[in-house]
Amino acid sequence: MKRHTSTIDARRDLLAALETYAAALASAGRPVPYRIRDELHLYRGLDLSR
């Protein structure tokens, strides 16, 4: 199960990075690109609690 855990960890890290990026854009008054918003929506919908 090590591979499964590392995949979930990588997805959590990616979500955190996307959230940070989107927040930085918003604080600078810049729009979040559609692709980034779509990725955020996708990763927020995944169950990453395992």
Query: What's the sign of the alpha-carbon dihedral 22, 25, 27, 29?
Result: negative
Q: Where are the alpha helices (DSSP H) in the chain?
A: 2-27, 34-45
Number of domains in the chain: 1
- Domain that residue 11 falls in: 2-45
Q: Which two tokens stand for residue 39?
A: 């990725």
Statement: the pTM of the whole predicted model exceeds 0.85: no
Higher local confidence (pLDDT), 7 or 4: 7
pLDDT digits (tens, 9 = 90+) for 18-34: 999 999 999 999 999 99
| 12 is a domain residue | yes
| 6 is a domain residue | yes
Mean pLDDT over each residue of the chain, to the nearest integer: 90
Q: Please, which pLDDT band fits residue 2 given cuts at 50, 70 and 90?
A: low
